[in-house]
A = this chain, B = another copy of it.
């Protein structure tokens, strides 16, 4: 016999019926000590591993959690993922991960693919799914979490924070520090980055004194190097007048900082720099870069907990959950 052993093989060897073996696997406490031991021995001897597809089909429970992030290379989503993985362990769930490359259309396609695995829940990043995707998800009858940002009309559950408010607060901080010629550099410009830019503009509009703003964005994906290039662009655009730059993330901010040093600009005297996401490096470079911190790991974890609770039919908050953010002030501003 060379094929993989199945339940029947184990049952036969243990001298019990298939269903008893199944019980040992899922509800060991429902089987007598004696039989359980016989079965466990047989399983070990045969090296039996339960066939997940058959199990899922018969029980109508896949044990799968679908997760879609916009980018595998952005460390920010990686941290969310870590939270997700830390939480699924306790719940015997397998994660199926998709990377939609910031594209709602690709996300829609991924959703159909992932739905075919009959996931018991789905975690999405952001709130800009296509209408068709939203319909699919509502029809799927599984709990869905939209993560990272807030929306008035969630598909189902929603956990995040306001990127607009964070952008506004950080910009206000720059203004309070006395800077009046503010640059904004942004890459990729996904919905959350755009919210930050809106916050930036609102803060400037709301400020009583006169101030200048110079916005420089690119659809290119973000990198440290790009931060240096965009800083140059903003300085050129402002004819060197710009005295503070709001970088839409910490990678750009690091690049801007390194570039400033190469140009012998003093930070924060000649130029203030702030970022977003509060990566480890931002705290450790000289000067430390002011940034916006948010509980990414926790968001991922909480999304899973919420999903699981909902699956069990427990009552869960259906209103968006605002996890907040924190403006971290450092020497760069």
CA distance A92 to B281 in the complex (A): 38
> B-facing mask of A45-63, CB < 8 A → 1, else 0?
0010111111011000010
The answer to whether A116 touches B52, judged by C-beta atoms less than 8 angstroms apart, is: yes
**Among B75, B117, B118, B258, which residue has its beta carbon within 8 angstroms of that of A285?**
B258
**Among B52, B73, B96, which residue has its beta carbon within 8 angstroms of that of A82?**
B73
The answer to whether B281 touches A51, judged by C-beta atoms less than 8 angstroms apart, is: no
Contacts A53-B54, A53-B56, A75-B78 known; 12 new A-B pairs at CB < 8 A = A4-B141, A49-B112, A51-B116, A52-B118, A53-B117, A94-B96, A223-B280, A225-B284, A228-B284, A254-B281, A255-B284, A262-B286
CA distance A116 to B49 in the complex (A): 6
CA distance A4 to B142 in the complex (A): 12
> B-facing mask of A117-145, CB < 8 A → 1, else 0?
11000000000000000011001010000
**Does A224 sit at the interface, judged by CB under 8 A?**
yes
**Across-interface contacts of A47 in B (CB, < 8 A):** 135-136, 139
Q: Nearest CB to that of A117 among chain B residues?
A: B52
The answer to whether B62 touches A73, judged by C-beta atoms less than 8 angstroms apart, is: no
> B-facing mask of A273-289, CB < 8 A → 1, else 0?
00000001100111000
**Does A305 sit at the interface, judged by CB under 8 A?**
no
Which residues of A, 221-245, contact B by the 8 Å Cβ criterion? 223-225, 228
**Does A40 sit at the interface, judged by CB under 8 A?**
no
> Interface majority SS on A: helix, strand, loop or mixed?
helix
**Across-interface contacts of A175 in B (CB, < 8 A):** none
**Across-interface contacts of A118 in B (CB, < 8 A):** 51-53
How many copies make up the complex? 2
The answer to whether residues A50 and B116 also contact, given A57-B57, A284-B224 and a CB cut-off of 8 A, is yes
**Across-interface contacts of A57 in B (CB, < 8 A):** 51, 53-54, 57
Contact residues on A (Cβ < 8 Å of other chain), bracket? 35 or more
The answer to whether B115 touches A49, judged by C-beta atoms less than 8 angstroms apart, is: yes
CA distance A228 to B281 in the complex (A): 12
**Does A12 sit at the interface, judged by CB under 8 A?**
no
Question: Which one of A53, A54, A139 has the highest number of Cβ atoms from chain B below 10 Å of its Cβ?
Answer: A53
**Among B54, B113, B225, B255, which residue has its beta carbon within 8 angstroms of that of A94?**
B113
**Across-interface contacts of A225 in B (CB, < 8 A):** 280, 284
CA distance A77 to B261 in the complex (A): 31
CA distance A152 to B299 in the complex (A): 43
**Does A85 sit at the interface, judged by CB under 8 A?**
yes
23 cross-chain CB contacts under 8 A: A47-B139, A49-B115, A50-B116, A52-B53, A52-B117, A53-B53, A53-B56, A53-B57, A53-B62, A57-B57, A72-B85, A73-B82, A75-B75, A94-B96, A94-B113, A94-B117, A95-B96, A224-B280, A224-B284, A228-B284, A258-B285, A258-B286, A262-B286
**Across-interface contacts of A190 in B (CB, < 8 A):** none
Q: Nearest CB to that of A139 among chain B residues?
A: B47
Question: Which one of A99, A223, A281 has the highest number of Cβ atoms from chain B below 10 Å of its Cβ?
Answer: A281
User: Which A-B residue pairs are the 6 nearest by beta carbons?
Assistant: A53-B56, A53-B57, A52-B116, A53-B53, A52-B117, A72-B82
